[in-house]
Amino acid sequence: MNWFKENPFLSGLLAVTVVAAGVLTFLLIQSWTAFTEATDSYTSAVENLHRLESRVPFPNDENLKAVRAGFDEYKAKVGELRSKLAKMEIPVDDKVTPQMFQDALRAAVNGIREKAKANNVAIPEKFYLGFDQYESELPSLQATPQLNREMLVLQSLVTRLIDYKIQSLDEIKRSPLPQEESAAPQKADGQGPGKKPDSQASPVLLRYPVDLAFTAEQSKFRIAFNSLLGADQFLIPRSVTLQNSAPDGPSRKSTEPAAAPAASADGSAAPAAGAAPAAPAAPSLQIIFGRELVKADIRLEILDFIELPVGAVVGVPVADIRLEILDFIEPPAAKN
């Protein structure tokens, strides 16, 4: 302590030196930190630049225009395909009321019964075109348009089969439509338990399976089955099971020739002297193919092509594509 009092100049110089060394150390650490950050930023920018340069196509204005042109062409092709598919399905009529549907269904069933009777085609006693529950009750307003279209499709299919004079229409069974099921309660956010988030793409098509069973002759079965594929609605035969009415072949005994009659004791049945022996009786030929009946169990899928929302393509929203393009043309800038 006495030395600092006796040497004030040296004491002051030492204090200034210590403070200056601390400040210098602080500035040195701060500069090193800034240098490290700048180096890391530069390295990241270089890596990002190399990543962008290695992409195909390279994100420049020319390639961006080409990508947009290709995307516009793709949208046009999708729209053209959607227009063609729309012609392959019966349109949904939103103006049909539940009462109108029930009346049209009753008229369709009565018409099919009369047509089947005129063509000698047997149909089930309790035939109601697969809509048994709507014989005595009205459908919901939400399900009516879809039910009406499905009724028109099934009416067309059954009418085609009767026109080709099948033996019998054994069964027609359809699966309930999603609109027929009771609506699930909505949550506070407006999404039901089975509803997908808006970020996921909506389905492109829906499948409505229908089981159809009928019996026909072999030749008529081929014609009738091919006629189903010519319906106004886009149909897919998912499975076909055929059963022959005569799985076993004819008995061998029925085709053996009858034995020649033997001579009786008094010689009445014996052939005359010098006469040629009687030829054996010709076997009775039986037609094996062509007379059997074929029972067919067919599962058909009625396809419903979903109307795409405005500004979306098949399975890929336009917003996602624009975000990807923005990531191409706006690489992060390097810091100084």
In 54-97, alpha helices (H)? 61-86
Q: What local confidence, expressed as pLDDT, does residue 214 receive?
A: 92
Q: What local confidence, expressed as pLDDT, does residue 36 receive?
A: 87
Q: What local confidence, expressed as pLDDT, does residue 173 receive?
A: 92
Residue at token pair 């309660």 = 185
Name the stretches of the chain with pLDDT < 70: 1, 3-6, 55-57, 59, 182-203, 230-232, 248-291, 307-336
Ranges assigned E (strand) in the chain? 168-174, 205-217, 235-244, 293-305, 312-313, 316-317
Q: Tell me which residue of 320, 309, 265, 304 sits closest to 79, measured CA to CA.
A: 309
Distances from the Cα of 283 to the Cα of 15, 254, 262, angstroms: 136, 8, 19
- Give the Cα separation of 55 and 38 in Å (integer): 26
What is the model's pTM?
A: 0.58
The two structure tokens encoding residue 163: 């026109």
Q: What local confidence, expressed as pLDDT, does residue 202 receive?
A: 58
Q: Tell me which residue of 296, 302, 291, 301 sits closest to 169, measured CA to CA.
A: 296
Distances from the Cα of 148 to the Cα of 110, 249, 270, angstroms: 16, 46, 80
Query: What order of strands is seen across the sheet that includes strand 168-174?
Result: 168-174, 205-217, 293-305, 235-244
The two structure tokens encoding residue 95: 């103006």
- Give the Cα separation of 181 and 175 in Å (integer): 11
Q: What local confidence, expressed as pLDDT, does residue 187 receive?
A: 42
Residue at token pair 């019998």 = 168
Q: Is the dihedral of CA 142, 146, 149, 153 positive or negative?
A: negative
- Give the Cα separation of 229 and 303 in Å (integer): 13
Does domain 93-177+203-245+291-305 sit in CATH 3.30.70.60? yes
Q: What local confidence, expressed as pLDDT, does residue 31 receive?
A: 85
Q: What local confidence, expressed as pLDDT, does residue 183 receive?
A: 41
- Give the Cα separation of 45 and 84 in Å (integer): 49
Q: What local confidence, expressed as pLDDT, does residue 320 receive?
A: 41
